[in-house]
Structure 1
Amino acid sequence: MTDSAPASAQLLTIGELSGRSGVPHTALRFYERQGLIHSRRTAGNQRRYHRATLRRIAFIRASQHTGVPLAVIREVLALLPADAPPTKEFWERASECWSREINERIARLERVRDRFTRCIGCGCLSFDECALVNPGDVLAGRGPGPHRLLGS
């Protein structure tokens, strides 16, 4: 379809959008409630999505696949007009942001892994001193007793 096509030809029903994107209706409604995609309503209150929404959905799914939270995806998509598809330049900028986010997550996981490895190497299982199980001795504030064993 070209830009000269009638506006109605640029719109998709939720069924068409679901079929073309491979995303279930329920997920599309969720994305809309979260402000990730937008629809117009017909006189009969049916949703109609601009064709550019297909690219937005592709962007959302690719971003989710890398582990980017929907809240972060929403912030980035908010920089685009409602019916505008993500451009190549937009993808590149988002990719830079995602790379930083992913690298930070990797660094956090490596720190947890290293702490856990030290804990296994230590073998003390001292709930009073263990930085992994009881960081900062927060359990001491609950008074004496086996708080971890009681599930409290």
Structure 2
Amino acid sequence: MPFSDGLPIGALAERTGLAVSAIRYYEDQGLISPWRNPGGQRRYQRADIRRLSFVMIAQQFGLSLPEIREVLSGLPGNRTPTKADWTRISKGLRKLLDERISTLLRLRDNLDGCIGCGCLSLPNCKLYNPEDRAKKGGSGPRYLMGDTPDT
């Protein structure tokens, strides 16, 4: 069968390393959009190999499926994405990834100290968060979320 008529789901699974059930799940989530041939079988674009590869990588970066769907919505649906398309998407993700890296670094560096949650359970809280000052910034682990003791 010529692949110019689209890839069958088995071929897409083989190329991506994903189970057929995972491909169907990603289809249900709106991450790829196959069509049906005259026999009613799903057919996928060759570009779906890249889309699914992006999904797997983006999940490793911690992106949720709704975030991934939003990113993929910026790709053209009627043609194979170009290098310029992928460059634009990667530039758009840079800020998000930088923020996540910053959060992870703060977590790594401050997890054993005060995280500004206002729990007052650590002996150091009297030094780093006297009178629960971190609470002024809102709920949650304020210092891990980017607040500093001097703000």
RMSD, matched Cα: 3.2
Kept in 1: contact 2:34–2:45 (CA 8 A): yes
Report the counterpart of residue 27 of structure 2 in structure 1. Answer: 32
Deviation at 1:44, TM superposition (A): 4.2
Kept in 1: contact 2:6–2:46 (CA 8 A): yes
Tell me how far apart the structure 2 counterparts of residues 86 and 67 of structure 1 sit (CA, whole Å). Answer: 23
- Asked if residue 105 in structure 1 is aligned to residue 100 in structure 2, the reply is yes
Report the counterpart of residue 124 of structure 1 in structure 2. Answer: 123
Sequence identity percentage = 41
Structure 1 or 2: more helix by fraction = 1
| Deviating 4+ runs (over 4 angstroms) | none
Report the counterpart of residue 22 of structure 1 in structure 2. Answer: 17
Mark the CA change 1:21 to 1:113 in structure 2 (over 3 Å): closer, same or farther.
closer
Deviation at 1:36, TM superposition (A): 0.7
1:89 paired residue among 84, 91, 105: 84
The structure with more radius of gyration: 1
Structure 2-normalised TM-score? 0.65
Deviation at 1:112, TM superposition (A): 3.7
Deviation at 1:116, TM superposition (A): 2.8
Instruction: Map 1:128-143 to 2 at 5 A.
Output: 136=135
Kept in 2: contact 1:55–1:85 (CA 8 A): no
Kept in 2: contact 1:31–1:37 (CA 8 A): yes
Report the counterpart of residue 146 of structure 2 in structure 1. Answer: none
